[in-house]
Structure 1
């Protein structure tokens, strides 16, 4: 019978992780995405096996809006104005104070799902229910910062930190099936920011020190007019892992484990660019044999059925320029679609993809 790949749930993920830990006699668990705001799940994993990295308490601190904004202010990191809202009326009132356009975010985020941009009070009232459906108790209304989406990948010991890489984020690529306006679609590493780069690195390192984080840490931000505005802190491995390793020639898992012993890496320069894109199902589909496509990652078994909007796989490429790396990823994505019933139909689609994905870099 065909396997069915559905959207994940924290309980199923923890159940699968605990089962695998017992089967393989694991000495600990490395946390990637999906559990940032699932404190109960993190506690269960920590008690049963042990988290190799930030503790549940450190996760909670890094995901607390108040704690992060206080640490950012002391670290010299700019933050957008924000307010916690429980009703559409509270959100509308907050928007009058903060200004429009504004961003409505769930109080727990994963890959940008459930985030909406409101350009009027009517938008806020209409979109609040959608965003609240992804939240536990409240919705975050945040000042909208228009600029280039980016992130910093760091290694931290709890007392000190080193920024390994700056990365360009690619969000909301509908051409690859990502229907969420600010949903994660991929990234390009490294991101060159000129004189602003060293300031951003130092500020993010100080932020990690003040939050007392350990291991592999990601800081998401938006760059506007050369200034970085903090969006969120991810106290675990990030989706940029493969690109950072390919571009810089490092092993982030080894650096992560060394940091838990108090050892920080020496700064390393990138030798090339790496790009990674996530290929999402544009409609329910059945996956073909994808292993013969160079650079394909996160591959489901042939015959797996995948629901619309769920990820099919990811594709990775390296090159001497970011444009070349991205172009190669797009070609591989087309091959994936050809093996999953449908395909990208025209050369023009590829051109628009490249233009949109590189728009942030051109603005810099």
Structure 2
């Protein structure tokens, strides 16, 4: 029998039904869910249901569409979609515990979760907690401080961001560790963290995880622009770097081993310095890099995620190491285009 999958992207799927819909978030959300739908409808014996904010148009052939009712709580609407399907692929920010709550609803409804377990999402949602877990395992990470008294006097700029923020959202750059300490002190209890600025390319890893194991799909270059005190992710070059030395595969494997609840597609953000690669955060969900994966690698990543969450051993998945050498694909967040 066909497997019916509920593909749910929070921003475009009605999660902000009672709030203004930010254009930039809607563009990025559309890119991710459209890439996912395009992959899913190519698979045999798969039926797809998607949720759509009624303010947004939708016209993907071969996909069933639902919308939250006027006044309906977004999580109630989500649960309604969950009960119509066999499996659920949630895409949502970790901010405010949204992704964790969606994941818990899937588990409580007894459906197959095509993503990380709620306990792993809860850890990854907190930058400080993630760094603590990874550093305990000996994985080098960007020092992260929530207590102003503990801010280390590391020279150079610092970045202030929400502990549960996603990407560059609400991140600010300050001139020094003293400024970082003062910033945290003035906003005590508001859930911000401070990290020293490291010079070097911003990278991300696209991986598939399963029960403490991980397979690296691609290493991507993030194009981050600094506008005075603000940071903006303008785009991503998917499959930009090879992994001939196995450096990035090793990082991905070590992260999966210490966070065994990670499952399905997982992104890892890091900084490549002159001497090392330093982990910034772990994203237990689809990231924007996914939009370019099929074109860059020459196979359907959704098929791999479904297989891994259905208990097919990772080592048995049809992933060719040569696939990473095909070509790079640019994902432009301003235009919403992949080329």
TM-score (norm 1): 0.63
Show the counterpart of 1:30: 89
Find out whether 1:171 has 2:224 as its counterpart. yes
Matched pairs, number: 265
Show the counterpart of 2:336: 314
Show the counterpart of 2:34: none
Find out whether 1:139 has 2:192 as its counterpart. yes
Identify unmatched segments of 5+ residues in structure 1.
280-312, 318-364
Q: Secondary structure at the match of 1:142?
A: strand
Show the counterpart of 1:342: none
Find out whether 1:105 has 2:161 as its counterpart. yes
Show the counterpart of 2:117: 55
Equivalent of residue 206 in structure 1, options 236, 242, 254? 254
- Larger CA deviation: 117-126 vs 270-279: 117-126
Equivalent of residue 78 in structure 1, options 120, 131, 140? 140
Decide whether the 8 Å contact of 1:154 with 1:205 is kept in 2: no
Decide whether the 8 Å contact of 1:218 with 1:238 is kept in 2: yes
Q: Distance between the aligned counterparts of 2:220 and 2:73, measured in 1?
A: 31
Distance apart, 1:19 and its partner CA: 4.5
Decide whether the 8 Å contact of 1:107 with 1:137 is kept in 2: no
Identify unmatched segments of 5+ residues in structure 2.
1-16, 27-71
Show the counterpart of 2:58: none
Equivalent of residue 239 in structure 1, options 274, 283, 288? 288
Distance apart, 1:109 and its partner CA: 0.9
Distance apart, 1:250 and its partner CA: 1.9
Equivalent of residue 6 in structure 1, options 14, 21, 24? 21
Distance apart, 1:239 and its partner CA: 1.0
Cα distance 1:121–1:236, how it changes in 2: closer, same or farther (>3 A)? closer
Q: Secondary structure at the match of 1:237?
A: coil
Show the counterpart of 2:12: none
Q: Distance between the aligned counterparts of 2:20 and 2:145, measured in 1?
A: 36
TM-score (norm 2): 0.67
- Larger CA deviation: 64-73 vs 244-253: 64-73
Q: Distance between the aligned counterparts of 2:229 and 2:265, measured in 1?
A: 27
Find out whether 1:17 has 2:44 as its counterpart. no
Show the counterpart of 1:269: 324
Q: Distance between the aligned counterparts of 2:133 and 2:116, measured in 1?
A: 17
Q: Distance between the aligned counterparts of 1:151 and 1:225, measured in 2?
A: 17
Q: Secondary structure at the match of 1:207?
A: helix
What is the root-mean-square deviation of aligned Cα atoms in Å?
A: 3.4
Q: Secondary structure at the match of 2:193?
A: strand
Q: Distance between the aligned counterparts of 1:217 and 1:234, measured in 2?
A: 6
Decide whether the 8 Å contact of 2:82 with 2:106 is kept in 1: no
Distance apart, 1:46 and its partner CA: 3.7
Find out whether 1:159 has 2:215 as its counterpart. no
Cα deviation per residue 1:175-200 (whole Å; 9 max; x = unaligned)? xxxx98323322002122676x5212
Q: Distance between the aligned counterparts of 2:74 and 2:331, measured in 1?
A: 24
